[in-house]
Amino acid sequence: MTQPDPTPFPIDHVIERGADADPALVLRDRTLSYAALRTRVGELAAWLQAQVPQPGARVASWGAKGELTCLLPIAAPRAGLVHVPINPMLKRAQVAHILADSGASLLVGTPARLATLEQADAPGGCKIVEEALALQAASDFYAMPPSEADPQSIAAILYTSGSTGKPKGVVLSHANLWLGAVSVAHYLKLARKDVVLAVLPLAFDYGQNQLLSSWYAGGSVAPLDYLMPRDVTKAVVKHGVTTLAAVPPLWRQLVEAKWENGAGDSLRRLTNSGGALTPDLIDAMQKTWPRADIFPMYGLTEAFRSTFLDPSLVATHPSSMGTAVPFAEVLVVDETGGPAEPGEEGELVHCGPLVAQGYWQDEVRTAERFKPAPAHSEYGGTAVWSGDYVRRSEEGLLFFVGRRDAMIKSAGNRISPQEIEDAALATGLVADAVAFGIPDAKLGQAVHLVVRGDGEADALAASLKRDLPSFMQPHAIEWRETLPLNPNGKIDRTALFREISERTAA
């Protein structure tokens, strides 16, 4: 594969490549051409700068997919600001943390979501504006021209759950976003004729890249908030979708949906991340969409996209993570810090210009994950030590072995066990709480919560339903009178996890 141009640009330049008359953004009520998209981005950027004149200030968005959430990732950086997208599935407590941690100066969102916030949830001085009012007000401004920002300056902060508790903000530069768009557009071979159906949340790097890589290639994007798999099938037909990105649980739903009368014949590429595709699911996908190439991918927010498996190898190596994407150097490092031998397990270390800038205002956790690259790295500099263990075959293909941390990965979401445990303890109904991820055929992992206390099961379940988003809800809550302790007097999570895993597997 030939390598694309590694020169980074300010991320708002990504929309300058499309032909004026070509469709760029397919909304519910209208379609924006590239010329119209550039105008709307410029107007929104000018409005943002008027609202928040301080360079580098953070602007948060909390809403469904639409004009605002699609434009802000490039309008905010054009205005010299930093975009902080918030997952629309999060609830008040998580949103309040993100606003406070990022020090947001402005929050724009849908009225229903904004109405759930309390006065103390937003930092002092943070303006709150409803989405429709922001879009209407932006129309009164002259469009701001493309920025001349330093590509190494900060463009976005994406919040992801951490193994030690509350979400942490991953800092991304213009260069990170630009090169990520170039990389994906290159190995997927996206082109002007392509139509991408954006079903993934735009608050995730994988979801946001649906926009950026498509616009870099001059294609069009149709954002969709779906409720049922049937919504996706209808949208594929309506828009003549060629490219669809999803996570394994959604793929399972989609292969079981009805694709009648050639409904999926327009699909040419199917991309997956957020969990591994199993051989049986790959087989079902190939039978459902025989004209489409399947691109299994692996990545993490701290290093963006790291590997992909070439479609020609999916049938023969369905469990492989593939090889590094353009601009990524992916190393397998042994216990001495040197290169692991073929077939030897080692930690996956990400190097190169796709590596993020660290965690927002968190030197401790940044130092734990972002460390100097191994001595044998070609890029050098700072690398992301993933905590994932893999092995590389003689042919150079990577295979996943296991995770070092205790993160729960369910339906493509990375969930902090401590965040669930904290929510359970906050109810006052339990004295101890331990959350695990248990293998699940549809979700990848399902949340299993073990608690000790005198509270009522129904009351605990109701409180968690109120305080946690749907993807964090325990699929099982197990009440116990005692929990195993280790020699230090702490809950023996390893023993508890082993016991539950053996029982559920039996």
Per the domain annotation, does 462 fall within a domain? yes
- Region 223-238: mean pLDDT is 94
- Region 368-375: mean pLDDT is 96
> Which of the 8 DSSP states describes residue 335?
T
pTM for the complete prediction? 0.86
Distances (CA, A) of 472 to 132, 166, 412, 429, 434: 30, 13, 12, 18, 14
Residue 488 pLDDT exceeds 50: no
Residue 201 pLDDT exceeds 60: yes
Per the domain annotation, does 120 fall within a domain? no
- Region 253-276: mean pLDDT is 91
Residue 51 pLDDT exceeds 60: yes
Distances (CA, A) of 452 to 180, 219, 392, 417: 45, 54, 43, 16
Question: Helix, strand, coil % (nearest 5) of the chain?
Answer: 35, 30, 40
Per the domain annotation, does 449 fall within a domain? yes
Per the domain annotation, does 435 fall within a domain? yes
Q: What is the pLDDT of residue 1?
A: 64
Residue 506 pLDDT exceeds 90: no
C-alpha 451/C-alpha 460 separation (Å) is 10
Mean pLDDT (the chain, rounded): 92
Per the domain annotation, does 400 fall within a domain? no
For the ranges 37-51, 110-124, 472-486, the maximum mean pLDDT occurs at 37-51
State residue 399 phi and psi, 5-degree precision. Answer: -135, 130
pLDDT tens per residue across span 121-180: 888 889 999 999 999 999 999 999 999 999 999 999 999 864 445 789 999 999 999 999
User: Exposed, middle or buried by CB within 10 Å (0-12, 13-18, 19+), for 455?
Assistant: middle
Q: What is the pLDDT of residue 454?
A: 84
In 3D, which of 252, 206, 254, 207 has the Cα closest to residue 228?
Answer: 254
- Region 10-35: mean pLDDT is 97
In 3D, which of 145, 155, 185 has the Cα closest to residue 5?
Answer: 185
Per the domain annotation, does 479 fall within a domain? yes
Question: Tell me, what CATH number does 465's domain have?
Answer: 3.30.300.30
Q: Residue 82 is encoded by which pair of tokens?
A: 């930093």
Residue 416 pLDDT exceeds 80: no
**What does DSSP say about strands 243-246 and 269-272: parallel, antiparallel, or unpaired?**
parallel
Domain assignment of residue 476, given as a range: 410-505
C-alpha 492/C-alpha 54 separation (Å) is 49
pLDDT tens per residue across span 297-342: 998 899 998 999 999 999 999 989 999 999 999 999 999 999 999 9
Least confident stretch, 29-38, 52-61, 66-75, 468-477: 468-477
- Region 201-216: mean pLDDT is 95
- Region 21-27: mean pLDDT is 98
Cβ atoms of residues 180 and 224 within 8 Å: no
Least confident stretch, 82-96, 294-308, 366-380, 477-491: 477-491
Instruction: Compare 406 and 440 and report the one with higher pLDDT.
Output: 440
Per the domain annotation, does 442 fall within a domain? yes
Least confident stretch, 63-77, 331-345, 396-410: 396-410
**What does DSSP say about strands 432-440 and 31-33: parallel, antiparallel, or unpaired?**
unpaired
C-alpha 62/C-alpha 71 separation (Å) is 13
Per the domain annotation, does 329 fall within a domain? no
Residue 98 pLDDT exceeds 80: yes
Count structural domains, the chain. 1
Cβ atoms of residues 18 and 24 within 8 Å: yes
